[in-house]
């Protein structure tokens, strides 16, 4: 249904909602009038008294097509034992009946809670190569047939930036870290463009059901054509801000033709500075508290990164750098500062993705250098159980420090990192406001001094994410001239007990003034 008018309570900024009438013309908001109104047109949407209209959420960091593909694979989320994992594989085989030799894929294995090896997988998948990413997408596990398909045997050497793990007997155990996982994943037959499109549609529908009308997506080389195939097509409903991943930091080799239609943006490079905390590949200044022989993996140094950023900014490209450990964040900040010595930089809104663990001295540098802090609140509540053991009390105190970053003047942009975590902005808002799980643990929140307000969380998921994508003049607010990209929440988040925020529901999602999702 296409709407010309919407009447109800809306969030226009601040810490409360107000009654409004919104006029829509040609997919954009034509006027916003405050007050109580009655319907004057058959195209008017009259909201229920307890519902609240919000700008459509913008997930500032996810992997859309990857997640869409995974929706058709084995989901190991919540599996806590080897038997749980093997049972899910068995159920998948029983339901889908894969042909002999066909790859079986999975995702979501929580390596901090369960350890599964090649010999276990061989029992469950004797006739099929098997490959599954761990929860953080920085490690994977594979059975023997998958290693054979990838031409990996006992003589294999570790690639730079990766590890083929071995057991106590010196034999490969099927656990693959970083580049080693990618080497095996590259042997899996690539889906067709039609299959990629189906994956995009699955992911898009999931996003719309969560009130998300825009997403910023990191894209590795193998998926570029898949995204470009749906860009600006009739199938693309939500707005998409796409980043091309560089692994070489060779600007001349990786340079691409920029695009920005208002519906599809392709002007940003994504790079990796380190790995992940769960696999101990995030890069820190000091060793891990539970592995004193490791400080993680640093994938690029300040000098080469600064040269790449300077070249990119000179030609109008944005930069988004993955950095989780405190050393990785320092390296990116140093490189951005070095690159900006010629006066070019902040206007291109350089971003650090995740910025999970930061030295206190680096927090104020985000605002000083004009660096967007692109964070995923749900990572905090997912990881907090093992952060103390990994990092110790001193470093955990400045982990997921969105309150400190905001107070220092940094722009926050919130997302999910889906499919690593839930895509739901509602769950992300709950995590950032309470720093607790859905069950309310830990009582009072984990490092509650870093909790932020509902207003700040909503802003990070709308205006902040829009600013990070260079679209703050057209999305992220309910104002005249902005696209009518909206969502309707089941209740007022400012009057909801913070512990119950996760229970709020999306009732309707609107893009360009047209309803694209309605909750049954």
Domain boundaries, the chain: 74-185, 242-472
Cis check: omega of the bond before 419, within 30 degrees of 0: yes
Cβ atoms of residues 257 and 251 within 8 Å: no
Secondary structure element (H or E) that encloses residue 489, with its range: strand 486-489
- At residue 345, the pLDDT reads 79
Predicted TM-score (pTM) of the model is: 0.88
Is 168 exposed, middle or buried (CB count within 10 Å of its CB: 0-12, 13-18, 19+)?
Answer: exposed
- At residue 41, the pLDDT reads 84
- At residue 293, the pLDDT reads 94
> How many other C-beta atoms are found inside a 10 Å radius of the C-beta of residue 199?
23
Compute the distance between CA of residue 373 and CA of residue 410 in angstroms, rounded to an integer.
7
**pLDDT tens-digit readout, 462-509:** 999 999 999 999 999 999 999 999 999 999 999 999 999 999 999 999
CATH 3.10.310.70 assigned to domain 74-185? The reply is: yes
Is 432 exposed, middle or buried (CB count within 10 Å of its CB: 0-12, 13-18, 19+)?
Answer: buried
The ranges of the chain with pLDDT < 70 are: none
> What is the DSSP-derived secondary structure letter of residue 81?
S
Cβ atoms of residues 281 and 177 within 8 Å: yes
Tell me if domain 74-185 and domain 242-472 are identical in fold. no
- At residue 334, the pLDDT reads 97
Strands 130-134 and 104-109: parallel
- At residue 181, the pLDDT reads 95
Compute the distance between CA of residue 197 and CA of residue 236 in angstroms, rounded to an integer.
10
Cβ atoms of residues 273 and 298 within 8 Å: yes
Q: Which CATH superfamily is domain 242-472 in?
A: Metal-dependent hydrolases (3.20.20.140)
- At residue 520, the pLDDT reads 81
């Amino acid at each position: 249904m296409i709407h010309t008018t919407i009447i109800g309570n809306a969030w226009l900024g601040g810490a409360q909602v107000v009654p409004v009438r919104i006029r829509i013309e040609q997919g954009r908001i034509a006027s916003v009038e405050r007050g109580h109104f009655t319907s004057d047109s058959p195209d008017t949407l009259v909201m229920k008294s307890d519902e609240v209209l919000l700008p459509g959420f913008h997930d500032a960091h996810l992997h859309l097509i990857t997640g869409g593909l995974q929706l058709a694979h084995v989901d190991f989320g919540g599996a806590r034992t080897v038997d749980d994992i093997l049972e899910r594989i068995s159920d998948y085989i029983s339901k889908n009946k894969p042909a002999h030799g066909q790859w079986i894929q999975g995702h979501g294995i929580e390596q901090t809670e369960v350890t599964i090896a090649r010999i276990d997988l061989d029992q469950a998948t004797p006739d099929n190569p098997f490959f599954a990413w761990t929860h953080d997408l920085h490690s994977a596990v594979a059975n023997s047939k998958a290693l054979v398909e990838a031409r990996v045997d006992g003589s294999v050497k570790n690639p730079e930036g990766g590890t083929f793990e071995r057991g106590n007997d010196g034999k490969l155990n099927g656990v693959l870290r970083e580049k080693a996982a990618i080497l095996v994943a590259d042997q899996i037959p690539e889906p067709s463009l039609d299959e990629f499109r189906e994956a995009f549609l699955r992911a898009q529908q999931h996003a719309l059901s969560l009130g998300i009308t825009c997403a910023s997506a990191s894209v590795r080389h193998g998926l570029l054509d898949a995204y470009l195939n749906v860009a600006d097509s009739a199938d693309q409903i939500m707005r998409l801000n796409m980043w091309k991943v560089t692994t070489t930091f060779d600007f001349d080799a990786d340079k691409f033709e920029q695009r920005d239609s208002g519906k599809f943006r392709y002007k940003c490079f994504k790079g990796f500075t380190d790995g992940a905390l769960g696999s101990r590949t995030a890069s820190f200044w000091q060793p891990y508290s539970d592995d004193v022989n490791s400080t993680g993996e640093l994938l690029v140094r300040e000098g080469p990164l600064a040269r790449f950023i300077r070249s990119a900014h000179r030609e109008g490209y944005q930069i988004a750098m993955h950095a989780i450990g405190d050393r990785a964040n320092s390296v990116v900040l140093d490189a951005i500062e070095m690159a900006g010595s010629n006066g070019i930089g902040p206007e291109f809104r350089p971003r650090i993705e995740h910025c999970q663990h930061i030295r206190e001295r680096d927090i104020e540098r985000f605002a000083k250098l004009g660096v967007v802090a692109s964070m995923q609140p749900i990572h905090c509540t997912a990881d907090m159980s093992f952060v103390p053991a990994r990092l110790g009390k001193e470093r955990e105190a400045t982990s997921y420090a969105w309150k400190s970053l905001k107070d220092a003047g940094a722009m926050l942009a919130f997302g999910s990192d889906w499919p690593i975590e839930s895509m739901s902005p509602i769950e992300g808002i709950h995590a950032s406001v309470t720093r607790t799980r859905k069950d309310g643990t830990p009582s009072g929140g984990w490092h509650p001094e870093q909790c932020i307000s509902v207003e700040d969380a909503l802003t990070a998921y709308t205006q902040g994410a829009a600013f990070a994508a260079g679209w703050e003049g057209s999305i992220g607010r309910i104002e005249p001239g902005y696209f009518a990209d909206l969502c309707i929440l089941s209740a007022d988040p400012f009057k909801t007990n913070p512990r119950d925020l996760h229970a709020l529901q999306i009732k309707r999602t609107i893009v360009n003034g047209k309803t694209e999702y309605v909750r049954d």
